[in-house]
Chains A and B, each alone.
Chain A
Amino acid sequence: MKECNKLWMYLLIAGICEIIWAVSLGYSEGFTIPWYAAAVVIFLSISIYLLSKAINGGLPVGTAYAVWVGIGSVGTMAVSIILGNEPAAPLNMLFVGAIIIGIIGLQVTCGAKAQD
C-alpha cells in the first residue's frame, strides 16, 4: 500500500510539471522567448521521468497516462481561470468534475497489478 502511494505521488508531481510546461509553452510565443522555452523543456523532461518511475514501479500504462493527462488538463484550466483567460463556466466545471472523479476512482482502486 505504501509503495502504491509513492507511485501516485510521482504521478501527481508529473501532472503538476505538465501544468507548468503547458502554461510556459503558451507564454513562449512559439519557442522564441528563451526563459519560457527552457522551462518547457525542463518541466517536460521532469514530467516524463516521473511518469516512467510510476509506470516502471507497477502502475498500468493505461491508468498512468490517463491520470497524467487528466491532472495536466485540470491544472491548466485552473491556471487559465485564475489568470482570467477562461471563464469558470458550469460546463467547464462539469468536465473538471468528471476528470477528478475518474482520477480519485482509479486511485482508490489503486490500479496496481495486484488487481489481476
Chain B
Amino acid sequence: MIVEWVYLLVAGLLEPCWVIALEKSDRFRKVPWAIATVAILIASLYLLSLSMALIGPGTSYAVWTGIGAVLTMVLGIVIYKEPAVLVRISFIMLIVAGVVGLNLVSGAA
C-alpha cells in the first residue's frame, strides 16, 4: 500500500539526479557521468513502471514529473546559479501545473 508510493517518490527524486549527471557528462563525452546518467534514468523509469502498475499511469506520471521538474529547477538555482527571477519560476510552474493537471485528468478518464 505504501511501498508503491515510496517507489514513486524515489523515482521522482532520481529525475534531477540524472539531469545533473547529464550536464556533467558534457554531451556524453565524460564516460563515467554518461554511464551514471543512463543508469539513474533506467532506475527512475523502472521504479516509475512499478508504481504505475499499482497506482495507475496518470497519477504516477503526474507525481513523477512534478517532483522532477520542481527539484530540477531548485537544484539548477542552487548548483548552477540559474536565474531565480519570478518570471522564469512562474513560467516553469505554469508548465508543471499543466503537465500535472493533464495527467491527473487523463488518469481519471
Task: Kindly state whether residue A1 has any CB partner on chain B within 8 Å.
Answer: no
Contacts of B88 on A, CB cut-off 8 Å? 60, 62-63, 106, 109, 111, 115
Q: In the bound complex, do residue B80 and residue A98 qualify as a contact, i.e. CB atoms below 8 Å apart?
A: no
- Given A51-B22, A61-B75, A98-B94, A116 contacting B83 (CB threshold 8 A): yes
**A98 CA / B25 CA spacing, docked (Å):** 32
Alpha-carbon gap, A89 to B28, bound state (A): 41
The interface residues of chain A lying within 8 Å CB-to-CB of B99 are: 69-70, 73, 95, 99
- A52 smallest CB distance to B (angstroms): 5
Interface size of B by Cβ–Cβ distance < 8 Å? 44
By size class, the interface of chain A is 35 or more
**Could you say which of B69, B97, B98, B106 has the most chain A C-beta atoms within 10 Å of its C-beta?**
B98
Question: Contact at B41–A66, with CB atoms within 8 Å?
Answer: no
CB-CB nearest in chain A for B92 = A66
User: Would B76 and A61 count as touching, CB distance under 8 A?
Assistant: yes
Please report the C-alpha to C-alpha distance between residue A69 and residue B92 in the assembled complex, in whole angstroms. Answer: 11
In the complex, which residues 9-28 of chain B have their Cβ closer than 8 Å to any Cβ of chain A? 15-16, 19-20, 22-23, 25-28
Q: Which residues on the B side are within 8 Å of A67 (C-beta)?
A: 95
Contact B105 A61 (CB under 8 A): no
Q: Which residues of A contact B98 (CB under 8 A)?
A: 70, 73-74, 95-99, 102
Q: Is A46 an interface residue (CB 8 A)?
A: no
B73 located at the interface, meaning its Cβ lies under 8 Å from any Cβ of chain A in the complex: yes
Q: Is the pair A115, B85 in contact by a Cβ cutoff of 8 Å?
A: yes
A26-82 with Cβ < 8 A to chain B = 48-49, 51-53, 55-56, 60-63, 65-67, 69-70, 73-74, 77, 80
Q: Which residue of B lies closest to A51 (CB)?
A: B22
Report chain B residues within 8 Å CB of A49.
27-28
Across the interface, which residues of B come within 8 angstroms of A65, CB to CB?
15-16, 19, 68-69, 72-73
